[in-house]
Structure 1
């Protein structure tokens, strides 16, 4: 589970990222020592930067820069995959999600196909645990009519490959809304259409399944943990 949040970076750290991103275009590999030299800073600073951005270590950040697959493809069944997901579950991401959500009086959940059903369930659970305006939507034009600077738009997507979110993201930014994507499988292109990306599982579903054929169980587990944490806060 990874939470990638560029908004947490200061100007120097953003400059480090842009420098390494540019270097990766014409260099086949960049060691952490090379990175420190390119950016004119210490190895320690590079290490702290990648962890602040949301990666476990420098190696994982490099996989991201070179657009390499970050998650292994499971050959086991769905129950075994979910068992591995639960073993890796990070409660800190639940806390981070709630902290982000509490900043906004209006929460919109958005999803296509089966992901919309998960968004509806999220709406149902949060109506009982928050006093916020909460709504689940599956049509972009409906979401665009509700977006404003008081809105956190949460997009649920398993793969991010079914349909792009570029137009919705641009509408959200034009109206001052914050966009957070909850994705099950890592997809680097989602970073271009979100302010924050929470990648829920490193255990991907079988490649041969189409996006609408993949399970949404990971979303429901995360939703239940968020609702339970909110319930404990009320008590």
Structure 2
């Protein structure tokens, strides 16, 4: 923690020096008592400690009395959401996808917008992890020419709200191929008859964000766990 003494004027420096001496004798010094001792208002003491870089008087007193400072954690909403995801992560979803990949000869990967970069990364890792025919599909229109009976069509999306998945899953069904949609956010509005969906979280990112503005952190974390499990399985073979 940085103590910003250089920001203090002469009076504030004298107040601080006086309180250091008082705190040696009185370790439970309240802000009101401190103000009375140096002849200023409690609000003046409060402004002083904030100016020095402390979160408040209690932290300042801990500093004066040589106690360990308690680090104040500042965490944004997205970090909290990711933390919640990690704490309640369901590994059965990883095991299920790993099993599907292992029992398929061809892996077709599809993602829209920035999610396509996740699929590019997934393709790269899969190609180095196992001996499978892995193809990242750049355009949904290519699916009819690529999907076969031994294929696994994997579609990843953050919310599933900005694309119509029905035609591509119907195409996979027509070729008797296995298909799976992996969504980060829970979406109760999807109407995909007879299609399998994995929801990675029950949470949602900021609803004011456009699709390209949303993070893909959780999708990538899931991909990493799948790759890690596949690597472990292949190592033991």
| 1:17-166 correspondence runs (5 A) | 77-166=77-166
User: Match of 1:221?
Assistant: 221
TM-score when normalising by structure 1: 0.65
Contact 2:158–2:184 (Cα < 8 Å) also in 1: yes
Residue 171 of structure 1 deviates from its aligned partner by 1.4
Contact 1:119/1:136, CA 8 A, preserved across alignment? yes
Tell me, in whole angstroms, the C-alpha distance in 2 between the residues paired with 1:83 and 1:191.
30
* Counterpart position of 1:195: 195
Q: How many residues align?
A: 161
1:201-226 alpha-carbon deviations (Å, 9 max, x no partner):
11211111112211100111011111
Offset from partner CA, 1:96-154 (integer Å, 9 cap, x none): 11012222100001011011111111111111111110011131111221011111100
TM-score (normalised: structure 2): 0.64
Report the secondary structure of 2:81's partner residue.
helix
In structure 1, runs of 5+ residues without a counterpart are 1-75
Alpha-carbon distance between aligned partners in 2 of 1:185 and 1:141, rounded to the nearest angstrom? 25
Higher mean displacement: 184-193 or 155-164:
184-193
Shift of residue 194, structure 1, vs aligned partner: 6.0
**Higher RCO (CA-CA < 8 Å; seq separation 6+):** 1
| SS of residue in 2 equivalent to 1:192 | coil
Q: Where do 5+ consecutive residues of structure 2 fail to align?
A: 1-75
Q: 1:192 to 1:132 in 2, by over 3 A?
A: same
Contact 2:186 2:203 in 1 (8 A): no
